Amino acid sequence: MSSDIESFTAHLQSSKRILALLGAGLSASSGLPTFRGAGGLWRTHDAISLATPEAFGRDPALVWQFYSYRRHMALKAKPNRAHLALAELAKKHPGFIALSQNVDGLSQRARHPADKLQLLHGSLFNVKCTSFYCSYHAENFTDPIVPALRIPLDESDPTTKEARHAVSQNHKEADIADAQVHLPSVQVADLPKCPECHEGLLRPGVVWFGESLPSKVLNAVDSFINDSTKIDLIFVIGTSASVYPAAGYVDEARAKGARVAVINADRADEPAGGLTDNDWFFEGDAAQIVPDILK
Ligand code: BJW
Ligand code: ZN
């Protein structure tokens, strides 16, 4: 495997069918934390442990506080140069699609064409009803989604007292991801309710462990991969490639002839199947490397 940009560029230019598997490292430079490793803790909770139906069943208020915080941070974040470069590639290359594990909406805000972007794990800005009898689902960008989930002001900041009474929105919010900061208690009755059946709680429209990925998305990915023609290249960008079925797409693409180009800040994060002499590993920040290698 190499980090030789010339051989990579030559292959990219002759590639007709290209996949990109995207992960949290793509948005790291936009200020959004990844799941594993440093930054993967939300208060005392491993972020992964909150991304389960069991966690929501046990403590829906805590899980909503986690997701409401992430919705807020994602709305404040801006797409970085890698989101933009991938969106440009999608616009100009007819045989390119991106498979994103990210739920932060930054690829969409970079104007990545929707038909070239498969959201494997849903979106922070989708909600759905938890009632078995109700199929309500919708897009929702309201922040906070209900008043009880508003992020409190930072009481230790001297401007907070004035800000509370001022029209100005220039107040400092408490960093509720920090376990030292007080987390207000939220009652289940104050969480978002389904506007259709008026009974079920709403939940974030993301895919938790043990849940199936959306069948429309799985079918679209399968039909791209199992098209009769070969795949030339798969990018693996900012992902530990440790969650399935997403991680399995690397081997599936390879089985269809693809060479693999990994862009990751950590040299140790190779896809499970390893890399060959025909592959590339570009080590560093995706926000810098992706625009450089797609130039
Ligand atoms: C940078 C950087 C910078 C940092 N620049 N790089 C086969 C075998 C074994 C188990 C299974 C299997 N098939 C299915 C399973 C079970 C399970 C699974 O995969 N378990 C594994 C842990 C083994 N999968 C599922 O349950 C899936 N459902 C399913 O398969 O249904 C059918 C089924 C069920 C049960 C059994 C069998 C079949 C669903 C998976 C849903 C994952 N959901 C989450 C949460 C989404 C909502 C939310 O955001 O809260 O998705 S978990 C979390 O992990 C999130 C992410 O999308 C996903 C992947 O994480 P990602 O993006 O790779 O982030 P990190 O943090 O891991 O890595 C960041 C990388 O960036 C690192 O490498 C850094 O070095 C790098 N980096 N800064 C470049 N600046
Ligand atoms: Zn409902």
Q: Please tell me the least confidently modeled range out of 19-28, 111-120, 149-158, 189-198.
A: 149-158
Residue 286 marked ligand-binding: no
What would the pLDDT profile of 93-112 be if each residue is shown by its tens digit? 999 999 999 999 999 999 99
Question: Are 40 and 46 spatial neighbours (Cβ–Cβ below 8 Å)?
Answer: yes
Q: What residue ranges line ligand 1, CB within 6 angstroms?
A: 23-25, 28-29, 34-36, 48, 51, 101, 103, 121, 206-212, 238-240, 242-245, 264-266, 269, 285-286
Q: How confident is the model at residue 1 (pLDDT cuts 50, 70, 90)?
A: confident
Ligand 1: residue of 243, 262, 269 to mutate (most ligand atoms within 8 A of CB) is 243
Predicted confidence (pLDDT) at residue 159 exceeds the cutoff of 70? no
**pLDDT on residue 154:** 87
**pLDDT on residue 77:** 98
In order of 9, 253, 291, the CA distances from 14 in angstroms are 9, 17, 18
Give the whole-angstrom CA distance, residue 13 versus residue 263. Answer: 18
Q: State in Å: Cα 211 to ligand 2 middle.
A: 19
Give the whole-angstrom CA distance, residue 232 versus residue 200. Answer: 46
**pLDDT on residue 169:** 57
Q: State in Å: Cα 244 to ligand 1 middle.
A: 6
Q: What ipTM did this prediction achieve?
A: 0.97
Residue 219 marked ligand-binding: no
Q: Going by C-beta distance under 8 Å and a sequence separation of 6 or more, which residues neighbour residue 204? A: 64, 67, 122, 124, 126, 127
Q: State in Å: Cα 154 to ligand 1 middle.
A: 33
Predicted confidence (pLDDT) at residue 280 exceeds the cutoff of 70? yes
How far out from the chain centre does Cα 46 lie? 16
Q: Going by C-beta distance under 8 Å and a sequence separation of 6 or more, which residues neighbour residue 122? A: 103, 204, 205, 206, 207, 214
Ligand 1: residue of 22, 32, 34 to mutate (most ligand atoms within 8 A of CB) is 34
93 an active-site residue?
Answer: no
What would the pLDDT profile of 216-244 be if each residue is shown by its tens digit? 999 999 999 998 899 999 999 999 999 99
Q: Which of 121, 165, 171, 182 is catalytic?
A: 121
Q: Which domains does the chain have, with CATH numbers?
A: 1-32+79-121+212-295 (3.40.50.1220), 33-76+123-206 (3.30.1600.10)
What would the pLDDT profile of 29-86 be if each residue is shown by its tens digit? 999 999 998 788 999 999 999 999 999 999 999 999 999 999 999 999 999 999 999 9
**pLDDT on residue 255:** 96
**pLDDT on residue 200:** 97
**pLDDT on residue 104:** 98
**pLDDT on residue 165:** 59
Residue 208 marked ligand-binding: no
Residue 165 marked ligand-binding: no
**pLDDT on residue 180:** 94
Give the closest ligand to the alpha carbon of residue 286: 1
